[in-house]
Amino acid sequence: MKWPRTQSLDKLRERLRVKTRRMEGRRLKEIIGDVKTSLRGWYEYFQHSKATTFPYVDGWVRMRLRSLLRWRQGKKGRGRGRDHQTWTNRWFATQGLFGLENAHEFTVTVLRLRTH
């Protein structure tokens, strides 16, 4: 088990920043689909990392998406506080967002079942 390098996390965040810009005119489903491909590829490479990495990245991505949704409602700021009740983690999952933490839990479960 290893931690992803800071440079790898920075590169992922930069790639996702471009895809989740507030001025992006695409539908949310399209943006989430684009983000999902990047997250899935990053996860496939770093799936054997420490488990604490994945909730951090998941939270950062959802914060970017909440910020985009706030901007579309005419509000300013990042997606924090009350926005977590408006757009829950479960809501993003139903929209098709790939969750790194859930994928890691599934991978660990499968590996445990294979070894027993």
Cβ contacts of 112 within 8 Å, gap of 6 or more: none
- CB of 38 within 8 A of CB of 16? yes
Whose CA is closest to 58, among 109, 108, 9? 9
Residues facing residue 2 across a β-bridge: 49
Res 23: pLDDT:
85
Q: Over the range 7-25, which residues count as b (16 or more CB within 10 Å of their CB) and which as e?
A: eebeebeeebeebbeeebe
Residue at token pair 């706030």: 70
| pLDDT tens, N- to C-terminus, the chain (116 residues) | 678 899 999 999 999 999 999 887 899 999 999 999 999 999 999 988 888 889 999 999 999 999 999 999 998 888 778 888 899 999 999 999 999 888 887 777 877 777 76
Res 87: pLDDT:
93
